[in-house]
Amino acid sequence: MATRVRLAAAHAAPIFLAARDTTQKAICWIEQAARNKANLVVFPESFISAFPIWSALRPPTDNHDLFQRMVQESIYADGEEMQAVRATARKCNIMVSLGFSEKVRTSSATLFNSNMIIDSRGNVRVHHRKLVPTFFEKLTWSPGDGYGLRVADTEFGKIGALICGENTNPLARYALIAQGEQIHISTWPAIWPTRLPSQRALEGHDSQPDATGKANYDNVAANRTRAAAHCFEAKCFGVLCAGMLGSDAINLISSSSSHLKQSMEQSQRAATMFLDPTGALIRGFMIDDAASVYHPAEFLQHKEGILYADVNLADCVEGKQYHDTAGGYQRMDVFDLQVNRTRQQPVRFAQTVDWEQTTFPHNRDG
């Protein structure tokens, strides 16, 4: 196993509610990361093909058309879009972590907030569905299961992923730590508004309070706090990969409401960054392909791009001397965690019976 790994995080906006176009964008960015010698490229939560931020901003009675489009532009885990991404990973010899809104063949409208880790040969190593949709996400996505609580043991380390609010779940995090995770991927939406700012705030008179005077959720601090805690406890590297909110999304969601448009435009943007096994920020870099110039950057927030970092997995070892939370610092005689990794299905058929042949056994074809 290689110990030195180049990580790439795509701080990018989808082509809003357009699965094929967003897939093509992902392919182009995978190819770019591979040209720059990345071993793993990570995409944000629900990158294909939208994050349903409208459910935080508009009443459910206004969102039927958007939900219908979300269903239409979600993708199957084995569909043509994912097949194209897997083929690109194989062609470019690069691992890919991709967030997507997943539809299934057992229902015309059940969706999951999913993430897939694909190895450099194009094989799916982890297919995870978010355990519990967070807050307003429940209006779009169904609860997942424990099937994807797995760590991919790859040539570039043991890699695991959790989606957004799952990084607040200590048991889900521990399930990955206990598999020897060395690189932890956490994926996030572009914005996370918990309050619509007042008109005074939109006019610049207040610092983002709503009508009650309470400020919005600081998702940059919250995301980093959760990811840093995991890195410190797991003694692993962290890739925080957040989405961007494009003008196409803002215009469609706001419709004719200038207040909604301003609210989205002024909402705090999430940040993409890397953390070391102590939870500290790693100074990454961007690469100018044309000039082959490296530009140092601690994080990406307000513009699209690929952030890179070179890490040494050997650095995951030292901290284990102090707190090996799934090893020498664990009391397995005291604590016992069981994880059900069965993929849940809406129905299980015990057997398949040919009714006609059972009832009329002499009725044979021909």
Domain boundaries, the chain: 4-322
Architecture of domain 4-322: 4-Layer Sandwich (3.60)
CA 27 from chain centre, in angstroms, equals 17
Q: What is the pLDDT of residue 366?
A: 45
Classify each residue of 208-237 as buried b or exposed e, where b means 16 or more C-beta atoms within 10 Å of its C-beta: bbbeeeeebeebbebbbebbbbbbbbbbbb
Give mean pLDDT, residues 231-250.
98
Please write the tens of the pLDDT for every residue from 319-329.
999 999 999 99
Enter the tokens of residue 88.
């690109």
Give mean pLDDT, residues 275-299.
94
Please write the tens of the pLDDT for every residue from 74-95.
999 999 999 999 999 999 999 9
Give mean pLDDT, residues 297-315.
98
**Least confident window among 195-204, 213-222, 280-289:** 195-204
What secondary structure, in 3-state letters, does 265-308 show?
A: HHCCCCCEEEECCCCCEECEEEEECCCCEEEEECCECCCCEEEE
Beta 4-11 vs 40-42: how paired, if at all?
parallel
Q: What is the pLDDT of residue 336?
A: 96
pLDDT above 90 for 135: yes
**Residue 105 in contact with residue 76, Cβ under 8 Å?**
yes
Q: Which residues contact 266 (CB under 8 A, 6 or more apart)?
A: 197, 201, 202, 208
Please provide the average confidence, as pLDDT, over all residues in the chain. 94
